Every structure is written in C-alpha cells, then in structure tokens.
Amino acid sequence: MTETKSVLTNDENKMIQEQFGLLLQNSPRLKKKADREIVEKAFNLAFLAHKDMRRRSGEPYICHPLAVARIVSEEIGLGSLSISCALLHDVVEDTDYTLEDIEHLFGKKVANVIDGLTKISGAFSEQSSSQAENFRKILLTLSDDMRVILIKLADRLHNMRTLDAMPVEKQLKIASETIYIYAPLAHRLGLYKIKTELEDLSMKYRHPEIYEEISKKVRSNEKRRVAEINRFSMPIIQKLEENNIHFDINGRPKSIYSIWKKMQTKNVSFEEVYDLMAIRIIFDPKPRVSEKAMCWLIYSLVTDIYLPKPDRLRDWVSKPKENGYEALHATVMSHEGKWVEVQIRSRRMDEIAERGYAAHWKYKGINAQESGLDTWLKRIREMLENPNNNALEFLDDFKLNLFSSEILVFTPKGHIKSLPKNASVLDFAYEIHTEIGNHAIGAKVNHKLVPLSYKLSSGDQVEVLTSDKQRPQPEWLNFVITAKAKVGIKNALKTEKNSRIKIGKEKLDRKFKELNITPNAYVFRKLMNAYESLTKDELYSKIGLGLIELDNVEEILKKKSRNKLVRYWTLQLLKGINSPASKKKAGATPDKKKPVLLRENVNDEDSEYTIANCCKPIPGDPVVGYLDKELDTIVIHKANCPNIIQLAAKHGDRIIPVRWTTHKVKAFLSRIKVQGIDRMGILNDMTTIISKQLDVNIRSLNVDVIDGIFEATLDVYVHNTVHLNNLILKLARIKGIDSVNREEYTGE
C-alpha cells in the first residue's frame, strides 16, 4: 500500500516491539535458538529499512510485514525461513536495499524467495502491459519454491484486512484480483480458512450493500444459532463420550460469501439456505484403529440420533480432494426440523484442512494421500514448461485447473481418476495418457457405448476405445475442458500441420530440381496464384495433403500473368488499413472484383476468417465476407443470409467478396432430411452409402416412423457442396426414398 514518511513515536515503537514479541511467542516452529536468531535479524533489518515509512492508513509501515509474518507463522504454520522472508518481503521493492544485500546477509534461499515476491508485487500494477503474461511469471514460482505463493497469500490477506484506507477504485481493483486469483489459489492449496476470509473480504468491497445485509442477518441470528448448536450437539456429545472417543466439537456459521453464492445459484432467499448451520467434530484416533474407521464410526453414532440426507454425504476420507483435504461431511435433520451439516475429521485432517499445503511437512511419509496436490502442481509445471502456450491460453488453462469442482471416475480396473466437473470422455482419455487421448474414438461408460463428447459424472466407470488410424480433430477443442487435453490436442494439431508443410516442401523442392528451376519470389507468386493459396505454408500444406498435383508446374510458370498475384484485400486486411481515412492516405481504391480466397484452415486458430454461426455456409455455397473490426476477422456468411443483408445495409464498406478454394481438409457440419416409405433394411442402406461408400462421418441421426412413413434427420460432416450433393443424389436412389433435402443447420 502507498506509504508516507514520518518519525515513529515512543508509543509506536513500544507497540511494534510488542507485536514482534507476540510473533516470537506464538510461532509454533521457532523452538530452536538458531531459528529465533534469523527471525530477529530479519526483523531488525526490516525495522531499519521501513523506519521512516507509513502506510496509507497512517500506521508505521513495519506493522504490515509484522502482520504478514504472524499470518505465515500462526495461520499457515511455516517456519523460520518463511517468517524471515515475510518480514523482508517489501524491503527490496520499497527501500534502497538490493537483492544482493539480502543474499549476503541471509543466504541464497531467502534471496530467491524475496526475488519471487518482488516480481509478484508488480505483476498486477496499472503499468502492466500484459496481466496474463505477468501471472504466468508469478506461477513460475510454483516450480521453484511454494513458500513464495504462501507468503504472497498472507500478504494479500493482510492487505484485504486493511483495505478500508484505500480509495474506492483501488478497493474494487484489489478485491476483484483477490476473488479472481488469490481466493481460488488458497482453496487449491487447502488453505480453507484463508480462502473463506479472502472471499468474504472481497465481497465486502465488491458488493458492500449485499454483504452488509447478509452480515446483519447472520449477526441477528447469532444467539439463536448458538442455542440451536448447543441443543443439537448435546446428544452427540453424550454418544461420543459413551464410546470413549476423545474429541472437540464446535459450531460454525456459513461464510457470508458462500451464503450469497448459494442464494444466487439456487435462486433462494437467505432463510431458504438450509445448511446455514454446521458443526465440526475433531477426534483423536484410538490406538490400532484407523482414522477412516473412526470417521465412519462417528458418522454411524450421529445418524443413530439424526436422520441423514443421503444425497448430501461427502466422503473425502476414502478419496481425499486433490489439495489433500480429508473429511467426512454429512447433512442431517435436527429435532427442530432444520438441516445441519456435520463435518467429521481427525486432528491431523483438521490441521491439513486449516493449513493445507503448508501442513504436509509434518505428515509427509505418514499419509500417502497427498499425491493429488502433487499431481496438480505437476500439471501446472507442465503447462509452464510448454513453449507452445501463449500467455492468454495459459491463463485460461490454469483457471480450468484452479476453479474446477471435482468428480471421481473409475478405470476398467477400478483405479480412481479425479477430473473437473463437466469433464468429457476425451478429457478422461488424455488424463490417462496423451497418446490414448490422441487415438480415442469413443468409450464405454458403465458398459454403454458413448461418444468422446459425453460428459462424465462421479462414479462412472470408463473404458476408452482407441484406433491407430484416429488423429486429433480441431472440433475436439469444443468439448474438452481440462488443460491437459487442450494442450495435447493443440500440440498434435500443430505437429500434424507442420508435418504436412514439411512433406509438401520436400515434394515441391524435388519438383524444382527435376525441372531445373531456381525458386524465387516470382515463382512462388505464380504457383500460389494458380493453386489459390495465400501463403507458402498453405501451398506446402495442400501439396502435403495431396490436394495439389505438381504435374502442371512447368505450364503454370510459362503462362503470362493476367493480373497482380498479390490479393489486394488480403494484404489490406493483414496490414489493417481498411478504414476510409487510410485508403485516402494510400491513394488507392480497392479492386472489389478480386475476392479473398477462403483457405483450407478456415476457423483454425491461425486463420483470418471465421464461419458465421447463423447460417453455417460450407464450401461451394455462394458466400460473402463481412469485416468485423471488433473481432479483427472476416466472418463468412451465405449470400442470402438475413444477417449479412442487414449488415450490408448498415456497413456496406465492410462487405468483402470471397470465394472458396479447393476444400478437402476440413469437414463442415450440414443437415439433411430424408422422407420415404418405411421398409425393412432402409436405414442400413442409408448408413452403408453414407459411411462406407462416401466416407461421410455422421454426427447424429434421428429417425421417426408414423403410419408407415419414414422420416430421418441426419447431421453429417462434408467437405463442400459437391460432396453434399453427391450424398443427396446417392440417398435419393435408395428404394423407398421419396425426397432428400438439405436443411439449414443452426447448431441446436
């Protein structure tokens, strides 16, 4: 936070020393003399460096690093090195001390953590040119030292606790960053208490009226809630004591943010949020009795007293969450007719729940169930190390991993895989192995055949079906949601594209040698014009796919050019000079007779064109282009599309002539309707022609028979109108078929 300069008063000096004394006194991991000495050394340097500085609130600046150090120590449970780094975290950024000074005084480990914290501090500033790229740099610290992220979370928590002193616009900015990144990150690392407080504080500044309203209702219910918890808990306490179980039991209100979120998602009032009240039972395990058995024993005792709600049982004891969280959650009906959530966990589970990743140092080796968090961290590192990821793609993929709720699905052998909610069969395939994902053709879910896009639910058993001939398709990116699947598909598509280009280049080079031609810009321009290609890579790609035969290269090069080989509109669009002002400046008038060529990779990630969803034209359809300046692309519509007619009336200067080139690379979705007289085998005749004779892929097939009249609607993938018309003609010849017509495909 912004600071001003001022000399400390005696009272302030006394208060600072008292705060430091509490830090030493309440830190559970500062038992050794050497640990206390390094923390004292760090405090002395921080105190000296910040002695003339104040926060915007007016308090001495040193109070902030002291508060962060106490959060790091008391609420997260880190040791002397992290506490020292928390005390020093603003020294390099805000004072004259350098990173070299820190390394000289405290060693390389402390210097590395301070370096990571300093880099994070500037990542979300107003001067940041790319928040996505800066955020990627922040997460590189995950690969180096997790303490950087944990200390940063403590820093953010204290800033949120003292946000009142900031201007309203700063409050909104910091609160938005907190709910967008820091609260989910705390959740993912298992720091539930910190995550909950960050969410509540963020809501306080983003939605102050709603926050205050819910907060007031929670406070007004406080006495009644305590009385209800006591009445509810008494029978449970009696039962647990009868069974000689050592335990603590406490009630807790649901957080303001979680109440508001439930009101939003369930569209209910405050009074209708049924699990406003919750109790937590924390037990000491008995000798020679597993924690899991103890959890279920206590669950059994509780449900002997209160009736459970079956669909609200959450078993994170048998399979912990990916961040290591373990507990048994049940919702039961109180004698007053209210639903109450009961959380059951051991002392160890409770410490991990409160301190998350930071608590694993204590139990490492005791419990092997922490591998889920390690797996998540490994995925993040893999994404960071992928050179093909740009910053925005990375941020999207990271958010998928960060925000996702989890489902648990089983392999055919009974192994459990954890996936985000709404994950598809293809996500599961890539989760097993990238190669299985790349060659997946479908799956059996609970022994029933399903497509790759099928959404999985918790408890599903999944067997992935593969084929050596299968290759990743661009459409797959529309229904996968995990970062691993998206990265796998994108990498495979890029590899395949590069392979096509390489093969095409080799073929063309051999042809040049055979004809004794020296390739130059003139030669390539002639070939690109003749083969309707806009770039060398497109030319190579078409050759590599076999769409272009090179038998007539010599004839093409001998022909005289009738027009300029560089397409005016394409160059203008790529240079971004289509505005009327720029045209006047250039002194040029576009030749609207020269159409933009629609390439084979329309709608691929590097294309300048997209297909309009309203009319979904396919190659061969009469089409018109519309320059969408907001999307920075040309949108291709059918010439008779109502939307393009309306756009042409309003923005005639943005209408661009376009035409299709050879199109056999990409498949386009079209719909046909078939009617006729029903007979035995008619459907088999249709699918034989579609799949075997014409090699057309069927996306969906709906058949209805009423009073002997057969009617079918098919969504099929075709290359162009010639391909589609050929299919229609073949189907029309089938015995019993009366009519076959193309219908508008709207994508519903």
CA dihedral (64, 70, 75, 78) positive or negative? positive
Query: Six-digit token pair at 600?
Result: 């084979």
CB neighbourhood size of 681 (10 A): 11
Neighbours of 205 (CB within 10 A): 22
Residue 275 to residue 559: CA distance in whole angstroms: 80
Contact 94, 180 (CB under 8 A): no
678 assigned to active site: no
Nearest to 190 by CA among 283, 365, 316: 316
Respond yes or no: is residue 93 known to be catalytic.
Answer: yes
Distance (Å, rounded) from C-alpha 244 to C-alpha 257? 38
- The CA radius of gyration of the chain, in Å to the nearest whole number, is 33
Amino acid identity of residue 77, one-letter, is G
Cα 228 versus chain centre, distance: 41
Indicate the SS3 state at residue 554.
helix
- Given a contact cutoff of 8 angstroms between Cβ atoms, the answer to whether 440 and 429 are in contact is yes
Among 94, 604, 678, 715, which one carries the catalytic annotation? 94
Name the catalytic one among 93, 101, 177, 406: 93
Question: Which of these, 344, 336, 270, 343, lies nearest to 307 by C-alpha position?
Answer: 336
Q: CA-to-CA distance for 378 and 654, rounded, in angstroms?
A: 47
Sorted by sequence, the CB contacts under 8 Å of residue 649 that are 6+ apart come out as none
State which amino acid sits at residue 367: N
Q: Give CA–CA dist 206/203, Å, rounded.
A: 5
Name residue 419's beta-bridge partners: 407
Q: Whats the size of the chain, residue-wise?
A: 748
Q: How far apart are CA 517 and CA 528, in angstroms?
A: 16
Q: How far apart, in whole angstroms, are the C-alpha atoms of residue 577 and residue 88?
A: 52
Residue 654 CA to residue 627 CA, distance in Å, equals 5
3-state helix, strand, coil in the chain (%, to 5): 55, 15, 30
CA distance 426 to 445: 12
Angstrom CA distances, 307 to 302, 538, 700, stand at 9, 67, 46
DSSP 56: T
Nearest alpha carbon to residue 738 among 680, 676, 689, 683: 676
Q: DSSP character for 624?
A: E
Q: Which of 597, 616, 737, 601 is nearest to 681 (CA)?
A: 737
Distance CA 78, CA 23 (A): 12
Which residue in 101, 121, 99, 123 sits closest to 112, CA to CA?
99
Q: Which of 315, 527, 321, 521 is nearest to 421 (CA)?
A: 321
| Cα dihedral across residues 274, 275, 277, 281: positive or negative | positive
For residue 276, the 8-state DSSP code is: -
At position 446, the amino acid (one-letter code) is N
Which residues carry out catalysis?
93-94
